Structure 1
Amino acid sequence: MLVRLILCGALLALSGTAAAETNTPCGHLRGAFYEYGALYYKAADGSWTGIDKDVVDEVARRLGCTIDPSTDSRVRIWAGLNGGSIDLSVSAMSTPEREKFGRVIPYLSERNYVLLNKDVSPSIRSMEDFLAAPGIKIGVIKTFRHGKVYDAWLERLRAQGRVYEAPDYEAMLRLFKVGRVQAVMAISTGWYPLIKQEQMAGNYRIMDWAPPKDAVVGGLILSRQHVDEALAARFSHAIRAMREDGTLKRIFERHLDAELAARLLNF
């Protein structure tokens, strides 16, 4: 009986220690966001909002983190993560190069589309049709990855001098609006807000040219220099719990319609 009581006491002590470690605040982290469609944008009152911000705020609340946010271009964010001046960023696609300096924890599954100007000939119905029309150019955001199929297609277009690389989402849309490019690459969280813009209504067609399984999975990217493996595991656990308890779905539905929100959960 005495042995059993001692063992029970030891197990309770270990359980308490584990719980304390799990609830240990994760301190201050430097987070970087970039403006893009419904992921991160300015609300009517001028404050920043969006899916990425809501995800980071909720993870920080659950882990007891303080996130010092900044907003920058994707190019400078990647440089900051690689150089050690940024601890985490958002909606990042994992690549072998990025995994060298950061761990990616998925929280959404996206799909890339080509937005064609309404004046582009209706005969352009595929990637090959686009390639065969030398007068049509496309805009992308510098450093963005679009999945194997689209990235290979864009390389062929780059060889023809038909790809314009913009520093951010707004600059890419400006190229599109003024006719410098006749198409842009965009995921659904990027083109969804355009539906609500009067000046864009009816000015483009959404083309889905990627294979059915060519999903782009985005997630938090955590600096390997400043976020250790144990803390990264806590982030992963929090994201998993947010998916299981419906929090991620509710966040997506704040900024998208229910159908698109449900698609984002397929990661």
Structure 2
Amino acid sequence: MLRSCCVFILLCFSLPLGASERYCPDRPLLVGLFYYGHIYREDRTGIDHDLLQLLQNRTGCNLTAEVMPRARTWYNLEQGLLDMTSTGILTEERAKHSWFIPYMQLKNYLIVPASLPREQRDAAGFIADTNLYFGAVRGFKHGEPLDKILTVLAETQRVLYYPDAPTLFYALKRGRIQAMFSQPPIYRYFLADELDQGLYQLLDWAPELTGTAHHLVLQRQTFSASQAEAWQQLIQQLMQQGELSKIYHAYLAREEACQLELAAGPKAALCAKGQ
């Protein structure tokens, strides 16, 4: 199995016996993570890392995180080999094996080199030029209508798939692909200097969308319906208390941090008060 050797306990502490029964079975739970910019960084920090620490504190569940390719995450969840993951997009097929609890929204923007001719920067122009290639991480969903565009390009073998975000951005910088979709917490991590220098352009191929909900994902064989409901109530509580907003603001500038929480629930303190 292709996966990183990075395995660790998120946080160790003691709680009264039975305190976690509302949320999880009495055993360690394996959480699949993947390197994804400020969402989860290679130094074991990031939005999802902090979120899982917070959730472990509140639930008393014993969460062990393992880094693995995103496609492997979804396969393992389907096979019952993994208990949880984060930053998941809900699909009809995935809902058959897991519960989905939204906690943030992310909007995908198109990234292209500044040198790409203007006539090739919209979807029709890009599709029409058969010399242009698109890059994507295998196993990722981007939301409609963006995935439909990738389907069209894939029919002519013009989508190159990569195992993770670092290799995808490397392919962009090396000129192996001419376009890709990405979100603010990710491209701000991988392309901060290049964007400031004007080497790449951000375009919006779905201006009608404010973003796509991303979820905490709980495997149905591990978590009962009542436990999944308890997790959902907890996430809503953390939104209303502003705890999730604090995490987003720790990694992103205010405007982009506030965008993450708008579709996930009530505006939390740091955004609602205009701070």
Deviation at 1:234, TM superposition (A): 1.4
In the TM superposition, what whole-angstrom CA distance separates every residue of 1:198-245 from its partner, at most 9, and x where no partner exists?
698432111111142362110110000111112111111111011000
After superposition, the CA RMSD in angstroms is: 1.9
SS at match of 2:262: coil
SS at match of 1:148: coil
| 1:257 aligned residue | 253
In the TM superposition, what whole-angstrom CA distance separates every residue of 1:165-211 from its partner, at most 9, and x where no partner exists?
11111111121111110111112221121343469843211111114
| 1:146 aligned residue | 142
In the TM superposition, what whole-angstrom CA distance separates every residue of 1:44-98 from its partner, at most 9, and x where no partner exists?
xxx3011111111111111111101101110111111111121000000000000
Distance of 2:145 and 2:210 partners within structure 1: 8
From 206, 213, 224, the counterpart of 1:217: 213
| 2:9 aligned residue | none
Q: Is the 8 A contact 1:194 1:201 kept in 2?
A: no
Deviation at 1:122, TM superposition (A): 2.5
Q: Is the 8 A contact 2:40 2:48 kept in 1?
A: yes
Q: Choose 1 or 2 for highest CA Rg.
A: 1
Larger mean Cα displacement after TM superposition, 104-113 or 116-125: 116-125
5 Å matches for 1:8-157? 26=24, 27=26, 28-42=28-42, 47-157=43-153
Matched residues, number: 244
Query: Which runs of no fewer than 5 residues in structure 1 stay unpaired?
Result: 1-19
Identity among equivalent positions (%) equals 27
SS at match of 2:93: helix
SS at match of 1:57: helix
Greater share of helix residues, 1 or 2? Answer: 1
TM-score by length of 2: 0.83
Q: Is the 8 A contact 1:87 1:222 kept in 2?
A: yes
Q: Is the 8 A contact 2:194 2:200 kept in 1?
A: no
From 170, 173, 176, the counterpart of 2:172: 176
SS at match of 1:213: coil
| 1:149–1:129 distance in 2 versus 1, CA, 3 Å | same
Query: Which runs of no fewer than 5 residues in structure 2 stay unpaired?
Result: 1-17, 264-275
Distance of 1:21 and 1:68 partners within structure 2: 18
